[in-house]
Structure 1
Amino acid sequence: MRHLYRCPLRWSDMDAYGHVNNVVFLRYLEEARIDFLFRPEKDFQQGSVVVRHEIDYKRQLVHRHHPVDIELWITEIRAASFTVAFEVKDDDLVYVRASTVVVPYDFEAGRPRRITAEEREFLRSYRDEADEEAAAA
């Protein structure tokens, strides 16, 4: 299963050429990730930190007045981290493919923490079947 976030574009997202600036895509990924993780019923409310981003820019996204879709899913779950994959797209037209490694974090203790059983179950429900098959091969 994939999570869908409809990301609004803003005039300030544009660069001098009228395209969405490459740096802005990091904010788009952050907005999608927050929409996915920070729900009242999930323990991720305690906090998390990003430890790695990888972004592949596929084509330019020109500013317009309707949102762009961001699909995200989980590709890897470890003891104290997980990897989120993203596609920023319109239907079958992909602008960006990206991945982010996230670590749950206990801000009161000032250190990373392990993923809870409830969080693991939640994350597993967003594993992409194609990723599961590729890992098994």
Structure 2
Amino acid sequence: MRMELPEHKKLVYETRFPVRWGDMDAMGHVNNSVYFRYMETARIDWMMQAGMPPAPTGDGPVIVNAFCNFYQQFAYPDVVRLKLYVSDPARTTFESWITMEKDEAPGVVCAAGGATVIWVDFLQHKATDLPQWVRELTAA
């Protein structure tokens, strides 16, 4: 079963990088936990570019759930192309979606996942309203 991305998603970031030898497990393919690192890398790179750097004494984004569906395996020396989409800004959250393709097979999704991002006041340890600029950035 393929994950369906919402129609109202917005592509905000794309990157590519090589699979490292150490990303693989004993079965000769990228370990399932590494896909979450790939998604994390794309998300944090986009957040840094968008002006959302980690700010432990202020407020900012935190992941409250994450998932990944696996369709085809990656292995060394594949090059992974990640596309990050956002959607559904709400009072305190927005959704992020990521597709992963082999660079040599554009359009063939090998894995897809996402995460719900919540805006948090780090000093108070609680959710707070998304800033208006983040709401606009994540609206399709």
Q: Same fold (TM over 0.5)?
A: yes
Task: Tell me how far apart the structure 2 counterparts of residues 69 and 99 of structure 1 sit (CA, whole Å).
Answer: 15
Q: Which residue of 2 aligns with 1:96?
A: 111
For the 8 Å contact 2:52–2:61, the answer to whether it is kept is no
Give 2:85's aligned amino acid: W
Matched residue of 1:61: which SS? Answer: coil
Choose between structure 1 and 2: higher helix proportion.
1
Instruction: Spell out structure 1 runs of 4+ moving beyond 4 A.
Output: none
CA offsets 1:72-112 (integer angstroms, 9 cap, x no match): 11132111011101101131221111121011122122222
Count the aligned residue pairs: 123
Q: Which residue of 1 aligns with 2:87?
A: 75
Q: What pairs up with 1:3-18 in 2 under 5 angstroms?
A: 3-18=13-28
CA offsets 1:39-96 (integer angstroms, 9 cap, x no match): 3x624544321111121111111111x6311001113211101110110113122111
Judged with a 3 Å threshold, the aligned counterparts in structure 2 of structure 1 residues 105 and 8 are, in CA distance, closer, same or farther, namely farther
Percent identity, please: 28
Matched residue of 2:32: which SS? Answer: coil
Task: Tell me how far apart the structure 1 counterparts of residues 134 and 71 of structure 2 sit (CA, whole Å).
Answer: 32
For the 8 Å contact 1:7–1:32, the answer to whether it is kept is no
Q: Which residue of 2 aligns with 1:110?
A: 125
Task: Tell me how far apart the structure 2 counterparts of residues 120 and 8 of structure 1 sit (CA, whole Å).
Answer: 32
Task: Tell me how far apart the structure 2 counterparts of residues 104 and 38 of structure 1 sit (CA, whole Å).
Answer: 15
Task: Tell me how far apart the structure 2 counterparts of residues 105 and 4 of structure 1 sit (CA, whole Å).
Answer: 26
For the 8 Å contact 1:44–1:119, the answer to whether it is kept is no
Task: Tell me how far apart the structure 1 counterparts of residues 48 and 126 of structure 2 sit (CA, whole Å).
Answer: 19
Give 1:6's aligned amino acid: R
Unaligned runs of 5+ in 2: 1-9
Unaligned runs of 5+ in 1: 128-137
